Amino acid sequence: MSGVRAVRISIESACEKQVQEVGLDGTETYLQPLSMSQNLARLAQRIDFSQGSGSEEEEAAGPEGDAQDWAGAGSSADQDDEEGLVKFQPSLWPWDSVRNNLRSALTEMCVLYDVLSIVRDKKFMTLDPVSQDAVPPKQNPQTLQLISKKKSLAGAAQILLKGAERLTKSVTENQENKLQRDFNSELLRLRQHWKLRKVGDKILGDLSYRSAGSLFPHHGTFEVIKNTDIDLDKKIPEDYCPLDVQIPSDLEGSAYIKVSIQKQAPDIGDLGTVNLFKRPLPKSKPGSPHWQTKLEAAQNVLLCKEIFAQLSREAVQFKSQIPHIVVKNQIISQPFPSLQLSISLCHSSNDKKSQKSATEKQSPEDHLYVLEHNLHLLMREFHKQTLSSITMPHPASAPFGHKRMRLSGPQAFDKNEINSLQSSEGLLEKIIKQAKHIFLRSRTAATIDSLASRIEDPQIQAHWSNINDVYESSVKVLITSQGYEQICKWAWIAISFPLRTTFAASHVSWSIQLQLNIGVEQIRVVHRDGRVITLSHQEQELQDFLLSQMSQHQVHAVQQLAKVMGWQVLSFSNHVGLGPIESIGNASAITVASPNGDYAISVRNGPESGSKIMVQFPRNQCKDLPKSDVLQDSKWNHLRGPFREVQWNKMEGRNFVYKMELLMSALSPCLL
Amino acid sequence: MGVTCVSQMPVAEGKSVQQTVELLTRKLEMLGAEKQGTFCVDCETYHTASSTLGSQGQAGKLMYVMHNSEYPLSCFALFENGPCLIADTNFDVLMVKLKGFFQSAKASKIETRGTRYQYCDFLVKVGTVTMGPSARGISVEVEYGPCVVPSDCWSLLLEFLQSFLGSHTPGAPAVFGNRHDAVYGPADTVVQYMELFNKIRKQQQIVFPHR
Please compute the mean of the pLDDT values over residues A33-40 and round it to a whole number: 84
Q: What is the pLDDT of residues A386-406, one digit of tens each?
A: 777 666 676 777 666 677 777
Cα–Cα distance between A606 and B192 in angstroms, integer?
66
- What is the mean predicted confidence (pLDDT) over A652-661? 90
How much is the average pLDDT of B189-209? Answer: 78
Instruction: Tell me the C-alpha distance between B6 and B142, whole Å.
Output: 7
Judging by beta carbons within 10 Å of its beta carbon (0-12, 13-18, 19+), is residue B71 exposed, middle or buried?
A: buried
What pLDDT does residue A663 have?
A: 92
- Per-residue pLDDT, averaged over A229-249, amounts to 70
Tell me how far CA of residue A93 lies from CA of A14, A40, A89, A90, A99, in angstroms. Answer: 17, 17, 7, 5, 10
Contact A537, A444 (CB under 8 A): no
Report the pLDDT value the prediction gives residue A399, as an integer from 0 to 100: 66
Instruction: Report residue A660's pLDDT band, with 50, 70 and 90 as the boundaries.
Output: very high
Mean pLDDT of the region A608-633:
84
Angstrom distance (rounded) from CA A471 to CA A37:
145
Note the residue count of chain B. 211
What distance in Å separates residue A534's CA from the closest CA in chain B? Answer: 25
Per-residue burial over A175-190, b if 16 or more Cβ lie within 10 Å, else e, is: eeeeeebeeeebeebb
Q: A124-133, A211-220, A223-232, A663-672: which range is least confident on average?
A: A223-232
A514-566 pLDDT, tens per residue? 888 898 889 999 988 888 999 998 889 999 999 999 999 999 999 999 998 89
Residue A170 one-letter amino acid? S
Band (pLDDT 50/70/90 cuts) for residue B169 is confident
Which amino acid does the sequence have at A62?
G
Q: What is the dihedral of CA A434, A435, A439, A444, to 10 degrees?
A: -10
Nearest by Cα to A545 from A574, A514, A511 = A514
- Closest Cα in chain B, distance from residue A429 (Å): 25
* Closest residue in chain B to residue A397, using alpha carbons only: B90
Which segments of A297-421 are extended strands (E)? 325-327, 330-333, 340-348
For residue A508, the model assigns a pLDDT of: 33
pLDDT score, position A526: 92
**pLDDT tens, residue by residue, B144-163:** 989 888 888 888 999 999 88
Nearest to A410 among B1, B72, B87 (CB): B87
Residue A507 sits at the vertex; the CA angle it makes with A503 and A512, to the nearest 5 degrees, is 135
Tell me the residue ranges of DSSP E strands in A241-349.
Answer: 243-246, 254-262, 325-327, 330-333, 340-348
Environment class of residue A508 by beta-carbon count within 10 Å: exposed (0-12), middle (13-18) or buried (19+)? Answer: middle
Q: Is B86 on the interface with A (CB under 8 A)?
A: yes
Point out the least confidently predicted range of A151-155, A473-477, B59-63. B59-63
Q: Which residue of A has its CA nearest to B187?
A: A412
DSSP E strands in A448-551: the ranges are: 459-464, 473-480, 512-518, 523-527, 532-535
Q: Do B88 and A409 touch (CB under 8 A)?
A: yes
Give pLDDT, residue A585: 85
Query: Which of A405, A407, A408, A417 best probes binding to B when mutated, by most B CB atoms within 10 angstroms?
Result: A408
Round to whole Å and give the CA distance between A400 and A410: 17
Q: Say yes or no to pLDDT of A662 above 80.
A: yes
Q: How confident is the model at residue A76 (pLDDT cuts 50, 70, 90)?
A: very low
Q: Which amino acid is at A160?
A: L
Given a contact cutoff of 8 angstroms between Cβ atoms, the answer to whether B51 and B100 are in contact is yes
**Would the CA dihedral through A653, A657, A663, A668 be positive or negative?**
negative
A207-216, A262-271, A567-576: which has the highest mean pLDDT? A567-576
Compute how many other C-beta atoms are within 10 angstroms of the C-beta atom of residue A138.
6
Say whether B185 and A413 touch across the interface (CB within 8 A). no
Q: Which of A202, A221, A199, A200 is nearest to A210 (CA)?
A: A221
Is B51 an 8 Å CB contact of chain A? Answer: no
Alpha helices in A506-611, H assignment, sequence order: 539-565
The mean per-residue pLDDT over the stretch A216-232 comes to 77
User: For the ranges A103-112, A352-361, A416-425, B71-80, which has the lowest average pLDDT?
Assistant: A352-361
pLDDT of res. A66: 46
Lowest mean pLDDT among A328-332, A354-358, A470-474: A354-358
What mean pLDDT is predicted for residues A100-124? 92
Distance from B206 to chain A by nearest Cα, in Å? 36
What is the three-class DSSP state of A16?
Answer: coil
Rounded to an integer, what distance in angstroms lies between the CA atom of residue B76 and that of residue A476?
55
The four Cα atoms B186, B187, B189, B192 give a dihedral, to 10 degrees, of 180
Residue A652's φ and ψ, nearest 5 degrees, are -80, 150
Mark A487-502 as b/e (b = at least 16 C-beta within 10 Å): bbeebeeeeeeeeeee
Long-range contacts of A506-511, Cβ-Cβ distance < 8 Å, separation of 24 or more: A508/A559, A509/A556, A509/A559, A509/A560, A510/A556, A510/A560, A511/A478, A511/A479, A511/A480, A511/A485, A511/A553, A511/A556
Q: What is the DSSP letter of A608?
A: T
d(CA B73, CA B90): 9
pLDDT at A491 > cutoff 50: no
CB pair distance less than 8 Å for A418 and B88: no
| Across A158-171, average pLDDT | 94
Averaged pLDDT for residues B175-200: 84
pLDDT of residue A638: 84
How does residue B55 score in pLDDT terms, banded at 50, 70 and 90?
very low
Mean pLDDT, all residues of chain A: 79
Report CB contact under 8 Å: B73, A405: yes
Higher pLDDT, A485 or B72: B72
Please work out, in degrees rounded to the nearest 5, the angle formed at the alpha carbon of residue A575 by the alpha carbons of A574 and A578.
130
Interface of A with B (CB under 8 A): 397, 405-406, 408-415, 418
pLDDT exceeds cutoff 50 at A251: yes
Cα distance from N-terminal residue to C-terminal residue, chain B: 37
Confidence of residue A359 (pLDDT cuts 50, 70, 90): very low
Residues 87-106 of B with CB under 8 A from A: 87-90
Question: Mutating which of B73, B76, B84, B89 best tests the A interface, going by the most A Cβ atoms within 10 A?
Answer: B73
C-alpha A143/C-alpha B3 separation (Å) is 104
Q: Mean pLDDT check: name the lowest of A171-180, A499-508, A533-542, A622-631.
A: A499-508
Mean pLDDT over B102-131 rounds to 88
pLDDT higher than 90, residue A448: yes
Taking the CA of residue A648 as centre, how many other CA atoms within 13 Å lie in the half-sphere pointing to its CB?
19
pLDDT at A211 > cutoff 90: no
Q: DSSP character for A228?
A: -
Q: Do A405 and B75 touch (CB under 8 A)?
A: no
The verdict on a CB contact (< 8 Å) between B70 and A408 is no
pLDDT of residue A358: 44
Distance CA A505, CA A40 (A): 169
Could you tell me which chain A residue has the CA closest to the CA of B85? A410
| Helix (H) and strand (E) counts in chain A | 16, 20
- Taking the C-alpha atoms of residue A527 and residue A514, their distance in angstroms, rounded to an integer, is 5
pLDDT at residue B53 above 60? no
Q: Quote the pLDDT of residue B1.
A: 77
**Residue B58 confidence (pLDDT):** 57
Q: To the nearest 10°, the Cα dihedral for A628, A631, A637, A640? A: -90
- Return left, alpha or beta for A7; rule: phi > 0 is left, psi -120 to 50 is alpha, else beta: beta
Largest CA distance in chain A: 218
| pLDDT for A64 | 47
Q: How many angstroms away from the CA of A305 is the closest CA of chain B?
A: 36
- pLDDT at position A202: 87
d(CA B30, CA B37): 17
Phi, psi of A203 (to 5 degrees): -105, 120
The pLDDT of residue B211 is 44
Element (H, E) at B4: strand B3-9
**pLDDT interval class at A483 (50, 70, 90):** confident
Write the burial class of residue A651 (CB in 10 Å: 0-12 exposed, 13-18 middle, 19+ buried): middle
- Helix/strand/coil for A164: helix
Q: Work out the mean pLDDT of chain B and round it to a whole number.
A: 84
Q: pTM for the complete prediction?
A: 0.59
CB B1 within 8 A of CB A414: yes
Pair A385, A402: CB distance under 8 Å: no
| pLDDT interval class at A264 (50, 70, 90) | low
Q: Is the pLDDT of residue A71 over 70?
A: no
pLDDT over 80 at B122, yes or no: yes
